[in-house]
C-alpha cells in the first residue's frame, strides 16, 4: 500500500516535493493545498489542487502532510495547527527558534496521536546529523560548518529591498584557506569574516546611484557588515543568464583526536554540492515523510527531528536488503 | 549513574576502547577480559584485567560488553555466546556474512532480553550510514565507496605470508581520476582496477629472491591480481620509521539527480581521514555502547545495527542540548 502524501504550499519547495515523490515508488502525491485560488494553480505532474481551507475534508485520504511554507510566518502557526489532524513534516529552519517550535508542536501532536517531524532538510537536517554523529564518535574535537558556494535567498532579498535595486543574487562563499586549515586538523579559531565571504550581483534601476547602493550593501548589519563583500553591477540579461539557478551546498567537519597523548588526529567530513537547494531539501522532506508514517504506525507520537529517527525508517529498502547491500 | 563497560579482548581495538571511554564522562571501564594469563597483561590506564573464563562472574557489574576480537574466528562465536548474558557491541566486518551473523545473534538476544549492536565501526558502520542516508534522500543515483589512502592489514598480512618476506605494509590508494569523475557527478562505471591501486613496502629476508616475491604479490588472486600494484623493497628500519602507523580512511559518495528532466545534479560526500584506524573504530564502538544501553533500557531487545539506532541515542548530550546546539 502506497503512503499517501499531501503537499501544503506550492512554491519551489512544494514543486520539489511533487517531483521527489515520483522517485519513491512506495508513495503517492494526493494533491497540493494552496491559499491561492486552486483554479489558478497548475501542478507540474498534473496532481490535483485543493484550497487550503478544505484540508480537513481530506483527513482520511492523507497519511502524511508535507508543509512547504516558509519559516518566518507560515510554519510557526501551520505546523502546530495541522499536527492536530495530520502526521506532518516541515523544514523549519530558524535555528534559534527550534526549541520553541518543538515545544509548540509536541503538545499538539502528542495529544492528537500524530507524529510531526520538524526542521528537516539539509541545514537543519542532514548537516545536523553530521554534527551529531561527528561529536558522538569524536567527543574531544571541534565542529565546523561552512556554507556554499551557493545562493542565499535571504541575502539576495535583503539587497533587492535597497532603493534603486531592480534585482540581485548573493553568493555565500566559504573561504578556502579556512576550510584547508580545518581539513588539515589544525582546529583554528575562526572569526565570522574568516569563514565566509559574500559576492553580490546587482541590477540597478535606471539612474540609480551605484556608489550609494554598494555602500548600503556593504554596511548592512547582520547580513554584510561583518564580511568581506564584493559587489558587481551587471545587466538583468546577464543576471538571468549566468545566475538563474539556486545552487547551494557546504560542508560539516568534525576534527578530533584520540590516543594516550591525543597524538592521532581524525577528520570527518560531510559535504553537499547541490544544483538545486529547493529540490534537494524537498527530497529530504519526502524521505522523512516515509519515516513519519512508520513512526506513527509504531505508536511513536509527538514532535520528532531527524535525531530521533532510526536511519532505516528513511529508506524504501527492507531490513534484509539494507543488511545485505548497504551495511 | 555511569554506564559500566567491559572490554572483551585486548588488542589494538581493546586498547582503543579503553582510551575512548576516558573521553566519555558518562561511562566507566570496568575492566578487560582476556584469554591470556591476566597477570601478563598490563592495561594502558590501569583498569583491571580478568580471565575471559571468569566473565560470567561479572554479569551484574557490566552494562555493556564491547567485543574487541576479530571477525574471522572470534566474533562469529563470541557475540552470540556473550549476548546470552550481556548487552554487546561488536565490529563484525565480513560484509558477506553479516545477514547470517545477525540471524545468529538475534535469536539469542531476543530470548535473553539483551541488546546487541553488531557491525559497528566505520565500514561497516559510519560508511553504511552514509550509504543509507544518501540513497534515501536521492533515490535516483549511484553509490561509490573509495577506501584509503590507508593501510590494509589483511593485505599486509597476505604479503607477510610469502616465503622470504620478513615484514610488509600495504597501502590501498583510491585512484584520484575516478574520485574526481564521481565528484563531478559523471556517474562513471568503474572496474575494480579503476577505483583503487595498491602500494606495497616489503622487507625481505637475507638472500631472498625479490623478483619472485614481487611476482607472487602481483599475481595473488583476490588480493592483488586485479589491481595495479607497485612493490617497493625497503629496509626494516625504513619500514618502522616511515610506515609504522595504521592510518586509513576513505569516502562514500552518492551522486543523484532531481528535477522534471533530472537536470539538477547533487553530490553528497562523507569522508574520513584517520590517523589510527583502530582508535577511530573503537571510538565508534564506545558511542554505540551508549546507544545499546539506552535501547536496552527502553526495552528494545535483539540484534541491531547502526541502521536501527536513533542518532540521539549515540550522543552524551541531552535532547534539549541537541536541539539547541546541533540541530
At residue B69, the pLDDT reads 95
Question: Cβ contact (<8 Å) for A266 and B284?
Answer: no
Q: For B139, which of A263, A280, A316 is closest by C-beta distance? A: A316
Mean pLDDT of all residues in A259-272: 97
- Secondary structure of residue B171 in the 3-state scheme: strand
- pLDDT for A293: 98
Nearest neighbour of B267 by CB, restricted to A98, A273, A312 = A273
Nearest to B133 by CA among A178, A3, A204, A317: A317
CA–CA distance, B83 with B71 (Å, rounded to integer): 16
* Mean pLDDT, residues A84-105: 96
CA distance A182 to chain B (A): 12
- The verdict on A298 touching B (C-beta cutoff 8 Å) is no
Euclidean distance between CA atoms B308 and B298, whole angstroms: 13
pTM, two decimals, is 0.96
Give the Cα separation of A269 and A254 in Å (integer): 6
Alpha helix stretches (DSSP H) within B65-149 = 75-82, 98-112, 126-137
Contact residues, B window 215-244, toward A, CB-based 8 Å cutoff: none
User: Which residue in the block uniquely carries the three cell numbers 616511515?
Assistant: B242
In this prediction, residue B186 carries a pLDDT of 94
Q: For residue B15, what pLDDT band results from cuts at 50, 70 and 90?
A: very high
> What would the pLDDT profile of A212-228 be if each residue is shown by its tens digit?
999 999 999 989 999 99
Please state the rounded mean pLDDT for residues B111-132: 98
Give me chain B's average pLDDT, please. 97
Contact B132, B150 (CB under 8 A): no
Radius of gyration of chain A (CA): 22
% of chain A at pLDDT higher than 70: 100
Inter-chain residue contact A132 with B271, CB threshold 8 Å = no
Q: Which residue of A has its CA nearest to B311?
A: A307
The pLDDT of A172-200, averaged and rounded, is 96
**CB atoms B279 and A259 under 8 Å:** yes
Distances (CA, A) of A145 to A42, A174, A182, A269, B126: 38, 10, 10, 10, 19
The average pLDDT across B10-29 equals 98
Q: Are A248 and A153 in contact (CB under 8 A)?
A: no
- For A315, the closest chain B residue by CA position comes to B136
Does residue A131 sit at the B interface (CB-CB below 8 Å)? yes
Give me the pLDDT at residue A1, please. 81
> A114: Cβ–Cβ under 8 A, 6 or more apart, which residues?
A83, A84, A85, A86, A87, A88, A108, A296, A301
The CA distance from A210 to the nearest CA of chain B, in Å, is: 34
How many angstroms separate the CA atoms of A102 and A306, rounded? Answer: 12
Q: Which of A265, A282, A322 sits opposite B307 (nearest CB)?
A: A322
Hey, CA dihedral for B214, B215, B216, B217, is it positive or negative? positive
**Nine-digit cell at B25?**
564522562
What confidence tens digit (pLDDT) does each residue in B190-232 have?
A: 999 999 999 999 999 999 999 999 999 999 998 999 999 999 9
> Cα(A280)–Cα(A120) distance, rounded to whole angstroms?
11
How much is the ipTM here?
A: 0.96
Q: How far is CA A315 from the centre of its chain?
A: 19
Position A32 scores a pLDDT of: 98
pLDDT of residue B82: 98
Give mean pLDDT, residues A281-294. Answer: 98
Quote the mean pLDDT of chain A: 97
Q: Is B145 exposed, middle or buried (0-12, 13-18, 19+ CB in 10 A)?
A: middle
Would the pLDDT of B321 be above 90? yes
Residue B59: per-residue pLDDT: 97
Residue A42: pLDDT over 90: yes
Inter-CA distances, A319 with A66, A327, B102, Å = 25, 10, 11
pLDDT of residue B1: 81
* pLDDT-above-70 percentage for chain B: 100
Amino acid at each position: 500500500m502506497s503512503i499517501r502524501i499531501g503537499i501544503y504550499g506550492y512554491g519551489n519547495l512544494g514543486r520539489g516535493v511533487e517531483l521527489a515523490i515520483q522517485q519513491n515508488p512506495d508513495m503517492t502525491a494526493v494533491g497540493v493545498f494552496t491559499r491561492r485560488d486552486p483554479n489558478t494553480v497548475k501542478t507540474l505532474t498534473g496532481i490535483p489542487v485543493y484550497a487550503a481551507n478544505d484540508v480537513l475534508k481530506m483527513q482520511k485520504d492523507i497519511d502524511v502532510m508535507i508543509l512547504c511554507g516558509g519559516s518566518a510566518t507560515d510554519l510557526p502557526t501551520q505546523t502546530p495547527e495541522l499536527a492536530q489532524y495530520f502526521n506532518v513534516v516541515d523544514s523549519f529552519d530558524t535555528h534559534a527558534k527550534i526549541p520553541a517550535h518543538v515545544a509548540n508542536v509536541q503538545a499538539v501532536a502528542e495529544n492528537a496521536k500524530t507524529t510531526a517531524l520538524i526542521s528537516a532538510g539539509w541545514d537543519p537536517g542532514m548537516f545536523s546529523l553530521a554534527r551529531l554523529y561527528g561529536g558522538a564518535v569524536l567527543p574531544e574535537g571541534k565542529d565546523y560548518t561552512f556554507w556554499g558556494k551557493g545562493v542565499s535567498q535571504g541575502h539576495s532579498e535583503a539587497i533587492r529591498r535597497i532603493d534603486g535595486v531592480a534585482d540581485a543574487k548573493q553568493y555565500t562563499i566559504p573561504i578556502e584557506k579556512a576550510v584547508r586549515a580545518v581539513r588539515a586538523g589544525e582546529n583554528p579559531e575562526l572569526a565570522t569574516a574568516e569563514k565566509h565571504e559574500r559576492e553580490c550581483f546587482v541590477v540597478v534601476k535606471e539612474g540609480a546611484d551605484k556608489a550609494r547602493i554598494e555602500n548600503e550593501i556593504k554596511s548592512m548589519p547582520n547580513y554584510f557588515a561583518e564580511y568581506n563583500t564584493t559587489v558587481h553591477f551587471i545587466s538583468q540579461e546577464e543576471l538571468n543568464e549566468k545566475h538563474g539557478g539556486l545552487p547551494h551546498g557546504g560542508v560539516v567537519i568534525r576534527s578530533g583526536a584520540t590516543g594516550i597523548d591525543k597524538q592521532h588526529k581524525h577528520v570527518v567530513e560531510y559535504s553537499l554540492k547541490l544544483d538545486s537547494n529547493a529540490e534537494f531539501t524537498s527530497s529530504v522532506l519526502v524521505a522523512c515523510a516515509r519515516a513519519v508514517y512508520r513512526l506513527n504506525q509504531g505508536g511513536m507520537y509527538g514532535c520528532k527531528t531527524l535525531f530521533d529517527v532510526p536511519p532505516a525508517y528513511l529508506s524504501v529498502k527492507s531490513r534484509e536488503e539494507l543488511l545485505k547491500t548497504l551495511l
